[in-house]
Structure formats: structure tokens, C-alpha cells
Amino acid sequence: MSRDTSYQAVMARRSEIVRRALGIDFDRFELGGVAFDYEGLMESTGYTLERIHQVQRAVKVGDTPLYELANITRLVRSTAAPGHGARIFVKDEAANASGSFKARRASLSVHEAARAGYPGVAAATSGNYGAAVVSQATMAGLRAIIVQEVFDSRGAGQPEIVEKARKCEALGAEVLMLTVGPELFYTMLCVLEETGFFNASLYTPYSVAGIESLGYELVQQCEQRVGRQPDAVIVTHAGGGNVTGTARGVRKAGADQTLIIGASVDLSGLHMASDRDFNRKSFTTGHTGFGVPFATWPDRSDVPRSAARPLRYLDRYLTVTQGEVFYTTEMLAAAEGIERGPAGNTSLAAAVAIAREMDSEQIVVVQETEYTGAGKHPTAQLTFARQNGVEVRRGDPRENKPGEAIVIPTHHGQIQAVEVPLDRLRLTYLKNIKKQAEGREMSPGEWGYLSEEINQPEARVRELFAQA
């Protein structure tokens, strides 16, 4: 009997498909009601931090350099108050095999796929993660299929996404290029069911645990370089895995006082699944279109329980504009002799603003960089923006309007970071929980779980829950 591959039938089988493609029984971590055993899920991979390092070092991942951006620090201090302007360091993740920190995420997933005997790996992504998965699969001798949203209904592809598809193909993947819309997850489920491949999802415990080595390394390197732990680590925030994995690694390195600060490009007002809006944004990741909804409801992902849970770890959440990130990308090249892709410079743009308000003896570490290429370059992206009716000009970056105007600063002193109140995100998260609970009273275990989920004392959780 032939299998029913209609949209409704495939979506009805999604839990079974995902379980078979991961080898994880998520049900055994459920604790009743809204709660589940998060730490148990993370430990279920069986990979200790030491083992993660061993796996990654064997596949050209990790031990990336930590650079001090002395020239940018001097620029920041030139517009800071006396005694202010923290030292800025950057962890150069472009040195990984595929050119981004996503190699850390992919390394454990592909290693697990090979260990468990899967014939290949598949991932749904329009970002650097696709190239990372394919790079790791190539080294492991596994086949790889990448499913990407590349085009709008006119057949036009944003140059950064097209560049990433090109890189995936160059590394040996089969790339399924889709138009924007709801078919991405459906197509991915069909691929997993038809091929029996491993689901190298961004949101599994393998993916998130692979990033812990990054947080651990940067603390160790900072201690070796300057004799102390960083005061703040700034992490580009999208689906939450980057924040979660980095923060867990930072804490495992003993840096309990280091602030974990998330940074996203402000794309408020643009709908990520809108055909019209798809090509009116210049950033395909690290923006509020992912950062806000995934913080307020992490289990919206493609697995039953996401291992990426940023509200557990964020101390602050900031946004910067597209123009500020493009300016910072050029500043990094001109001042430090390092040309890197714009999306990875989201956290650097935020660091420029944050360092200005910190004391001069303090240390801020920018957690990542990414490779650059023809499609990622600011010239290609800004040209494409103009072609899609977006105004590009120099001026005050506060005049930026996502989808309408990209305003590039005229001076580094104009770079600012806008605070996103974490309580606002916590309230939205708890509203979603309240809907799930359907009016029933929470158990003591659920209140404890929610306290861990939003990193607040239980009394504060109850107070916010009453407001939600």
C-alpha cells in the first residue's frame, strides 16, 4: 500500500517521523502538565564537554582564536565618557571548517548520525547551518540533503541565501530550494520519511550541546590572555540555540558572574513567512523575527521539546538596526583588517554600544564571526535591497524602518543598542503557558519548572503569571 503524502497526512505523522529520525523518545522527559526534564534531555545525548571537544577537534571544529579589537576599542573610547569604554574581544568562529560557529552545532549531530548508522543527514535551514551540516557530513562519508527557503513567488532569491545554497552544493549536498511559505517543514518531513536520514535539527540537544565548547573556550582564552573572566559575552540571538549553548559553556567554565547578552537585528513589522516581506529584509538570521517568538515559545520548533531555551540564560536582550550592522561590518574590515559576514557582526554592533557604557577595565567578548562571500557582502545585500524598493542612505540609524529604509550611520558614535525588556518576553511566554494550561491550577513541580524556564524566583513567576 502506498504511503499517503498529502500535507495533512504527513503532518499527522510528524511525531513518529521526528522520533525515528532522531532516536530520541521525548515523551520520557515529560513531567506532567507544562513541565519537562530539560537537564535530563540535555544529558541524554551522553556527550560530556570533554567528549564534545574530542569530537570537534577531529573534524576541524573549535579552538578558534580570540582576538582583541584594539582599534575598535579606541574608537569606542573616543566617544565614551572618561574612564569608560570596555576592551572588546571577538571569538573568530569563521576559522571553523564551514566558516561559522554552526560547525559546532553540526559536529555532534553528524557524529551521532554516523555512530547510530544513519545513511545520511538532513536539515531545514536557509543559513550557515546548512553549510556546516554538509561540511561535517562530507568528512563523515554521509550523504546530506539541505532544504532551504530561497525564493519569493517571483523566483527572486536574496543574495545571502543564494550564496549559502551555493556553498552547500559546493560541499556536496543535494539542496532543495523552495519558495517562502509553509511547505518547508512539510518537505523536510517528507525527506526524513523517504530517506531514513538523521534529522540534524537546530533544536536538538546534540545541536545545542555542541555550542557549549564555544562558551567554555572563550572564558578559558580570556583568563589566559588577560587573567580574568569576561564581564559580558554578547551573543547573536535568533532561534535561541546560540544563546543557550554559549551560556551553558560559560557557566561550565565557572564564569557565574559573566553577563549573557543577546543581540538581534530589529526587523519588527516584517513577517518572516510573508512573500512580500521575504526579500525586503537584509538579514536572514539573528533578527527579531526569530529572536522574539523563539524566546517566548521555544517549542514552536521542529522537535517536540526544543533544547534551545534562551530565557533560562539571558541577562539582557538588545536590538540594533540593519544600518548599524552594515556600518560595523565595514568598520571591522577598515579598522581591524578582518572582513567577515554581516549577520555575524550583529553582536559586534551591540558590543560597540555596550562597551561605551562599561568601565575601561572591563572586558566584553563578542561570541562569534562568520565567513563572508559574494552574496553575503554588504554591497550585494544593499544593492538587492534597493532593487526591492528599500531606501538605502546615510544618516541617523534611528530612522531605520525595516522593509522601507536602511539608514547607515555617518559616525561610529551613532551606534546604539535598544533594550528589549526581558519581563515583556517573560510575560508573553507565560501567556502561552496559561493557554496551554487551560485554566487549571499549576502543580508545585510546574511552578519550579517555570522558575527555571524564565530564570526568576518562584514568587516573581507567580506575580508575572497573574498578569499574563
Listing DSSP states for 26-95 in one string gives GGGGEEETTEE-HHHHHHTT---HHHHHHHHHTTT-S---EEE-HHHHHHHHHTSPTTB--EEEEE-GGG
Contact 208, 244 (CB under 8 A): yes
Reported as type and span, the H/E element at residue 424 is helix 422-437
- 3-class DSSP state for residue 125? coil
> What is the C-alpha separation between 212 and 447, in angstroms, rounded?
27
> What is the C-alpha separation between 290 and 264, in angstroms, rounded?
9
Contact 242, 370 (CB under 8 A): no
- pLDDT tens for the 468 residues of the chain, in order: 578 999 999 999 999 999 999 999 999 999 999 999 999 999 999 999 999 999 999 999 999 999 999 999 999 999 999 999 999 999 999 999 999 999 999 999 999 999 999 999 999 987 899 999 999 999 999 999 999 999 999 999 989 999 999 999 999 999 999 998 878 999 999 999 999 999 999 999 999 999 999 999 999 999 999 999 999 999 999 999 999 999 999 999 999 999 999 999 999 999 888 888 999 999 988 999 999 999 999 999 999 999 999 999 999 999 999 999 999 999 999 999 999 999 889 999 999 999 999 999 999 999 999 999 889 999 999 999 999 999 999 999 999 999 999 999 999 999 999 999 999 999 999 999 999 999 899 999 999 999 999 999 999 999 999 999
User: What are the grid coordinates assigned to 301, written together?
Assistant: 520548533
> What is the C-alpha separation between 36 and 39, in angstroms, rounded?
9
Per-residue pLDDT at 357:
96
* In the chain, where the domains are located: 7-51+100-205, 54-98+208-419, 428-467
> What is the C-alpha separation between 115 and 136, in angstroms, rounded?
13
Q: Does the fold of domain 54-98+208-419 match that of domain 7-51+100-205?
A: yes
Q: What is the fold of 7-51+100-205?
A: Rossmann fold (3.40.50)
CA distances from 424 to 2, 12, 156, 402, 430 (A): 49, 34, 36, 21, 10
Proportion of the chain in helix, strand, coil states, percent, rounded to 5: 50, 15, 35
Per-residue pLDDT at 273:
82
CA distances from 398 to 77, 236, 408 (A): 22, 20, 10
Q: What is the DSSP letter of 462?
A: H
Per-residue pLDDT at 1:
52
Cβ burial, residue 18 (10 Å; 0-12/13-18/19+):
buried
User: What are the grid coordinates assigned to 211, written together?
Assistant: 555550542
Per-residue pLDDT at 439:
87
Residues 6+ apart with CB under 8 A from 370: 93, 94, 99, 100, 101, 128, 340, 341, 343, 344, 376
Per-residue pLDDT at 42:
98
The candidate with the shortest Cα–Cα distance to 77, out of 439, 357, 341, 292, is 357
> How far is C-alpha 39 from the geometric centre of its chain's CA atoms?
20
Per-residue pLDDT at 102:
97
Per-residue pLDDT at 307:
98
> What is the C-alpha separation between 435 and 427, in angstroms, rounded?
12
> What is the C-alpha separation between 194 and 167, in angstroms, rounded?
25
The candidate with the shortest Cα–Cα distance to 270, out of 385, 429, 392, is 385
Identity of residue 215: G
Mode of pairing for the β-strands spanning 405-408 and 391-394: parallel
How many C-beta atoms surround the C-beta of residue 13 within 10 A? 15
Q: What is the fold of 54-98+208-419?
A: Rossmann fold (3.40.50)
- 3-class DSSP state for residue 417? coil
Give φ, ψ of 440 to 5 degrees.
-80, 160
- 3-class DSSP state for residue 218? helix
Give φ, ψ of 71 to 5 degrees.
-70, -40
- 3-class DSSP state for residue 263? strand
Reported as type and span, the H/E element at residue 149 is strand 143-151
Task: Please give the model's pTM, rounded to 2 decimal places.
Answer: 0.97
> What is the C-alpha separation between 125 and 199, in angstroms, rounded?
12
